[in-house]
Structure 1
């Protein structure tokens, strides 16, 4: 069975979006603390320092996670060509799980760098 364009189109949006938003947040991070755009957690929204650090760190996490996911997805789809009806769904759900779990490294980095009040740890 040949590689089909619809299968590829179904597995690349999540990694591409992660890469695009990672690059966007690196170049144009959300300037002010808000509940609409950017990496939003209680610790990240404590003050400007925690906000800027969280945006920068999450941008890096998403760029690298997106690249790794894109490579993984393409390899996985190419390896399992005969299961085109099932593979895109599994790959897509795996990508979503990785995307959601990508908040964990940023939470850990914020906890290491700042205390609960948003002051730098010494």
Structure 2
């Protein structure tokens, strides 16, 4: 049971991080373009305006996804309750892998929005 609780906590970590950074990116994105912190893609770093837009867009998306992933991840761990550590560990990894796919998949709509709103030089269309 202890390992299951640990895995549940670990599986709730990513949705909570998405909620926190989603809200942070919406309200206070990194002030300047940098290579260390923030939503860093070639398209988002072309101009300060594109940088700010990418963070607002990504922030809204991450916050929404975090709200959905949090209860879904908790519910997804219920079938592993009472099983052995190998089964719980495997189930935990599967849930985490799905969360990572969702996180990485969030790049697609943000990049699409950047492409629709900014030219190749980062200027607003």
Q: In the alignment, which residue of structure 1 is the partner of 2:71?
A: 71
Separation of aligned partners in 2, 1:3 and 1:78 = 13
Task: Note the residue ranges of structure 1 that are not aligned, 5 or more in a row.
Answer: none
Q: Secondary structure at the match of 2:44?
A: coil
Task: List aligned pairs for 1:16-31, cutoff 5 A.
Answer: 16-31=16-31
Separation of aligned partners in 1, 2:8 and 2:107 = 26
- How many positions carry a matched residue from both structures? 121
Task: List aligned pairs for 1:1-40, cutoff 5 A.
Answer: 4-40=4-40
The structure richer in helix per residue is: 2
Q: CA shift at 1:26, angstroms?
A: 1.7
TM-score, normalised via structure 1 length: 0.88
1:3 and 1:78 in contact (8 A); partners too: no
Taking a change above 3 Å as real, the CA distance of residues 35 and 85 of structure 1, as seen in their structure-2 partners, is closer
More off after superposition, 53-62 vs 84-93: 84-93
Q: In the alignment, which residue of structure 2 is the partner of 1:57?
A: 57
Q: Give the root-mean-square deviation of aligned CA atoms.
A: 1.9
- 2:112 matches 1:94: no
Taking a change above 3 Å as real, the CA distance of residues 119 and 85 of structure 1, as seen in their structure-2 partners, is closer
Q: In the alignment, which residue of structure 2 is the partner of 1:103?
A: 107
| Cα-to-partner distance string for 1:50-89 (whole Å, 9 max, x where unaligned) | 1110111111111111111112111111244345342111
More off after superposition, 69-78 vs 79-88: 79-88
Taking a change above 3 Å as real, the CA distance of residues 78 and 113 of structure 1, as seen in their structure-2 partners, is same
1:16 and 1:70 in contact (8 A); partners too: yes
